[in-house]
Amino acid sequence: MMIFFALATFVQHNDPDWYFWGSVYLVPTLMSTVQAFSVTITYHYVYQAFIRSCALLYSLLTLFHAYYFIRFASNVSTQGWIDSTFESQSMPSSSPTTNLLIVDSEEGREFLGSLIALLWIIISIYITTTNQVGDAALSRRFKILIFIFTLIPIILWFILYTLEVYLC
């Protein structure tokens, strides 16, 4: 995941708000680097407090982006289940159909990126607390789950980039 978040940090150079999303992806990159190369630091209470506060901040960020994606990117107000107080605001799309594909809008991709970062931080918290108990505490199934979760974003990124190149 260190490589994935490093690549995600690098590709933010052409984003209008690169300073925000670069830092959002840089924090999990640094956390993964520390966990990979300096395991003794992860036992320190300052690192534990830092990683838990990052989990809180990233959960708030993910909730905000979930709301933002549902409200502005999916055009659900045209379907009538959001009250008419938002009618005066302009919606990004002119079609009345709902578009809930996450990868089709920037808001959806931002939500997905913050969700991946949040899940990785939660997994990092679990890994650092179980490493204090001992490596035997990490079950074989959980190690397989971590491995699969590590591969999924990289594979999805490759597939979406390949489709974007061939479809455009």
Element (H, E) at 117: helix 106-133
Q: Is the pLDDT of residue 133 over 60?
A: no
Q: What is the mean pLDDT of the chain?
A: 76
Say what the pLDDT of residue 135 is: 57
- Identify whether the C-beta of residue 31 lies closer than 8 Å to the C-beta of residue 23: no
Q: Is 51 exposed, middle or buried (0-12, 13-18, 19+ CB in 10 A)?
A: buried
Q: Worst-scoring range by mean pLDDT, 58-67, 69-78, 111-120?
A: 69-78
For position 89, what pLDDT does the model report? 47
Per-residue pLDDT tens digits for 38-47: 878 888 889 8
Number of domains the chain contains: 1
Domain limits for position 129:
2-167
- pTM, two decimals, is 0.71
CA distance 33 to 54: 16
Contact yes or no for 87/77 (Cβ under 8 A)? yes
Q: What pLDDT shows up at residue 77?
A: 45
| pLDDT of residue 27 exceeding 50 | yes
pLDDT at 60 over 80: yes
